[in-house]
Amino acid sequence: MKKLFGLLMLVAAFTFAANNANAQESFGSAGLEIALPIGDFGDAANLGIGGSGNFEIGLSDQFAVLAHAGVLFYSVDDIEILGTTIETSITQIPLQVGGRYYLSEQKEGLFLSGLVGVHINSTSANDESDSTTDLSFAPEVGFFLNENISLSLRYQFITSEVETIDPVTFETTTENQTNSYLGVRAAYNF
């Protein structure tokens, strides 16, 4: 509930900033995403591929607020246990808001961004599935090749809680875990 409240506060701040934006440019983008899982997440999943959309509202020539939403599908190796193959899949839906700073001016050259929000994670094994909503944040660096094409690289942190059960005492313990990935995005801006 705290995560949802935090996200709603970010959306409210984004909406406030959008309503107070002066004559600076607002635009959207659609992009192809590639995600390379890192650490423990890299042990569970292989390469992720998906798409995303951004909407950016310019507040000045060099600063903008943005909203980001997408979907990523990860390839996962099937697991074989006692001669039975378990087919698994992982899907993530990032919903984030943030800010972007242009080193020269909007839609030109190098930019730095920060995103915060949630990742809705869905894991399925055979016919059973489980989903969680976890807090996420990411620093990003990117470059506009021209007014319509941009490339960016971000380091995505996803914080989650993992419950484990001791097989002897049946006690449940909860650990915090960071599922991270390195994301590359090629986008068309319109």
d(CA 44, CA 37): 9
d(CA 75, CA 46): 5
Nearest 5°: phi and psi at 5? Answer: -60, -45
Residue 54: band (very low, low, confident or very high) from pLDDT cuts 50, 70, 90: very high
Structure tokens at 84: 């039975």
d(CA 175, CA 179): 13
The residue-averaged pLDDT of 108-119 equals: 97
Rounded to whole angstroms, what are the CA distances from 122 to 71, 130, 134?
11, 6, 11
CB atoms within 10 A of CB 54: 24
d(CA 51, CA 37): 16
Q: Is residue 123 a contact partner of residue 88, using CB atoms and an 8 Å limit?
A: yes
d(CA 38, CA 19): 38
Q: Is residue 138 a contact partner of residue 158, using CB atoms and an 8 Å limit?
A: no
Residue 16: band (very low, low, confident or very high) from pLDDT cuts 50, 70, 90: low
pTM of the model: 0.81
pLDDT value of position 6? 56
Structure tokens at 101: 């700073």
Domains of the chain (ranges plus CATH)?
Answer: 2-189 (2.40.160.20)
**pLDDT tens figures, 150-189:** 999 999 999 987 777 777 887 888 888 888 999 999 999 9
- Hey, CA dihedral for 183, 115, 9, 12, is it positive or negative? negative
- Hey, CA dihedral for 45, 89, 116, 185, is it positive or negative? positive
Nearest 5°: phi and psi at 28? Answer: -115, 170
